[in-house]
Structure 1
Amino acid sequence: MVIGGLISSTALTLILVPVLYELVGRGAARVARVGRREDEKSGPERRDEAAEQPA
């Protein structure tokens, strides 16, 4: 029973945690990249609309 606990905790620490960390990092980078694309698409349009409206 103790050996199983040691093996499972070692697997979690050395394998599962780094894999999850990498996946979360990639997901955050993907979300940031998509956000930048949306800003680039709507950026010039917003600036043009703001310039056309009277103050």
Structure 2
Amino acid sequence: MSTFSIIAIPFMCASLTMLVLAATLKNKTFLILGSVFMASSVVNAVLGMSLS
């Protein structure tokens, strides 16, 4: 498991938490943060899979 794959796991958890907060609190800030963390975790996961 590369470093990118290890970093992708907590980013995915953080993004899901932010998206749940965005849905429950109707706050656009959490939606933007969740989307950014989700994109970052996908990029890290793809890099981790391509390097291993």
Question: Whose RCO is larger (CA < 8 A, sep 6+)?
Answer: 2
TM-score range, shorter chain: 0.3 to 0.5
Asked which structure has the greater CA Rg, the reply is 1
Q: TM-score w.r.t. structure 2 length?
A: 0.47
**What TM-score do the two structures reach when normalised by structure 1?**
0.45
